[in-house]
Amino acid sequence: MPPSVRRPLRFVGPLLTATAAVVGPVAFFLVLVVATDGAGAGFLAWSASAGVAVLVALRRGRRRPWRGRLVPFLPALVAAALTLSVCVPTVPTARRQPPALPFVTTEHWSLATGSRVAVYHYPPTGDRPRHRAPLVYLNGGPVRGISLLDHRFLQRLARQGHDVYAYEQAGGGRSDLLPMDQYSITRSVHDLGAFVGRLGERGKGRADVLGFSSGAVVLTRALAEPAVAARLRRAVIAEPGPMDGPTARIAGQRGRPSARDIAPAMTGPRSTRVPRYAVAFGLLRLGLLSPGNGLVSQAEGVNAFTAADLGSDTASAYCARDAHRIPVEDTARNFSFSAAASLRVQETVEDSPSLAPRLKHSRTPAMLMIAECSSQVRQWETAVLAADPAARRTQYMPGVGHHMWNGLDDNDRRAAAVITAFLRDEPAPLPDHPTRAGIPAFLRDHK
C-alpha cells in the first residue's frame, strides 16, 4: 500500500474511536431521558451519562503516560457539553403571555369549570340586520391562540350583524394554563358549556357556535352532551378532525392536493434548531416523552414554540395553487401554541369510545363545512354528517384549503355568506353537498 494511502488510514481508527466515545454517551443520555421522562429538566440523565463517560475515560487512560491519560477525556467533555445543552433553558421558564391586541379588548373570564380564559368581543356593526343570538367561535389548535387572520374574519362576521364572542381555550393564547393532567376533550366540552352558560346569565340566550378544526371536534362532542347542547341554538362544524377513537383510526382519503411540501419553507426563528427543544419536541412527537414530561415544562414549551416550528403543517391548510402566496397568518408576538397540551387533548380523543350512539340523539341544527383542498381525512368529516341526524346542510367550499377564511381572493366573503345564511335560516349559497345519502358517492369520486 503506497505511503500516501497508508498515512491517512492511520487516523481512521483513532477518529472512529473518538466518534464512538462521543456518540455513545449522547445515545445513553437520550435513552435515560426517555426512561426517566426527562426528570429534573434532563439533569438526572445528564449526570448519569456524564459519570459513565468519565469512568470509561479513566479506564481507557489508566495504562497510558500521565499526559496520554487526558486524551480519552476530550470526547467525554464534548459529549457532556452536547448533552448539557439539552438541559439548559434558552427561553423564560415562567409563562410569557402575548401582549394585548391593539384592536380589541382582552377580557378574562373565570368559568365554572375552573378554567380562566381570554375572551374577545366584537359587537355587531354595519348596516346588516342584527342577529339575535350571540355567535361563539372555537378556534383550532387545539391549545393555540387565535391568529390575527382569524380575528380579521371575526370582525367580518360582526359586520354581518353577528354579536361575536371568541375565547382561547385553556392553555392557549392569553388564557391561563391548566395542570397537564387536566387537559382533555371532555374538559374542552365542559368549558364550552360553561362559556355559553355565562353568556346566558348575561341575558344573551342560547348561542350559535362556529367550531373550526379541533374546535369543530369540541363542538361535535358538545352536541352529544345534552346539558351543553341545550345551551346551543345552531352549530357550524367547519373542517373537523376525528371526533372519537374509532374515527381517529381511519386512514382514509383527503381532499384535492394541498400546498404541503411544495410551498416555500416558512421563515423566522425555530425552536427546533435549539438542541433542548429539538430533542424535547422530537421525542414528544414520537411519543417517547409524555405531555407532562420533566424535560421542558408546559410554560417553557409554549414560550419556545414558534410559528416556523409548524413547518409544512401551515402549508397543508392551503390549496396547491396557492403554494406561493400563502398569507402570513399571525405575528411572532401574537402566536402561541402548546405542543404538549395539544398532544394531551388529542390523546384523549383517540382514547375515547365511539361518539355515534350519543350523537344520534342530537337535536341542535348543524351545518358541516368541507374544503375542496382539505388536509383532513374525508371520513373524519363525513362521519359527523353520518352520525348526526340534526345536520341539515353541508357546504362544500371550492377553491380553498383547510383554513377556509384566509384573506385570499373572495374566500372570506364566501365563507361568511355560508355561515350567515345558515344561522339566519336563509337559502344556502351553495348546493347541499354531500348529503347524508350521498356520502358513498362523494368518497368514491375522491372530491
Quote the cell numbers at residue 234.
345552531
Name residue 357's amino acid: P
User: What is the chain's pLDDT, residue by residue, as a tens digit (447 residues)?
Assistant: 555 544 454 444 555 555 766 788 899 999 999 999 999 999 999 999 988 888 877 776 666 665 556 666 787 788 889 999 999 999 999 999 999 999 999 999 999 999 999 999 999 997 888 888 999 999 998 999 999 999 999 999 999 999 999 999 999 999 999 999 999 999 999 999 999 999 999 999 999 999 999 999 999 999 999 999 999 999 999 999 999 999 999 988 899 999 998 999 888 899 989 999 999 999 999 999 999 999 999 999 999 999 999 988 999 999 999 999 999 999 999 999 999 999 999 999 999 999 999 999 999 999 999 999 999 999 999 999 999 999 999 999 999 999 999 999 999 999 999 999 999 999 999 999 999 999 999 998 877
Residues in the chain: 447
- C-alpha of 348 from chain center: 14
Quote the cell numbers at residue 321.
395553487
- C-alpha of 272 from chain center: 16
Report pLDDT for 16.
57
Report pLDDT for 9.
42
Quote the cell numbers at residue 303.
414560550
Contact 332, 309 (CB under 8 A): no
Contact 236, 258 (CB under 8 A): no
Report pLDDT for 17.
55
Report pLDDT for 212.
98
Helices (H) and strands (E) in the chain, counts: 16, 8
According to DSSP, the residues that pair with 210 across neighbouring strands are: 137, 236
HSE at residue 325, side-chain half, CA atoms within 13 A, is: 8
Report pLDDT for 5.
44
Cα-Cα-Cα-Cα dihedral of 311, 317, 320, 324, to 10°? Answer: -60
DSSP letters, 274-338, are SHHHHHHHHHHHTTSS-TT-SSS-HHHHHHH--GGGGTHHHHTTSBGGGTT-------TTT--B-
In this structure, what are the phi and psi dihedrals at residue 190, rounded to the nearest 5 degrees? -65, -35
Contact 159, 126 (CB under 8 A): yes
CA distance 179 to 114: 11
DSSP letters, 88-129, are S-SS-SS--PPPPPSSSPPEEEE-TTS-EEEEEEE---SSSP
Using alpha carbons, select from 200, 162, 220 the residue that is nearest to residue 366.
220
User: CB 338: neighbour CB atoms within 10 A?
Assistant: 29
Contact 215, 139 (CB under 8 A): yes
User: CB 326: neighbour CB atoms within 10 A?
Assistant: 20
> Angle formed by the axes of helices 411-423 and 148-159, to 10°?
50
Contact 111, 161 (CB under 8 A): no
> Angle formed by the axes of helices 3-36 and 73-84, to 10°?
40
HSE at residue 94, side-chain half, CA atoms within 13 A, is: 0
CA distance 368 to 237: 5
With cell 371536534, the residue in question is: 217
Query: Domains of the chain: which residue ranges?
Result: 3-84, 107-444
Report the run of H or E that residue 173 belongs to, with start and end: none
List the Cα angle 317/322/328 in 5-degree steps.
65
Contact 181, 292 (CB under 8 A): yes
- The domain covering 107-444 belongs, at the CATH homologous superfamily level, to Alpha/Beta hydrolase fold, catalytic domain (3.40.50.1820)
Structure pTM? 0.92
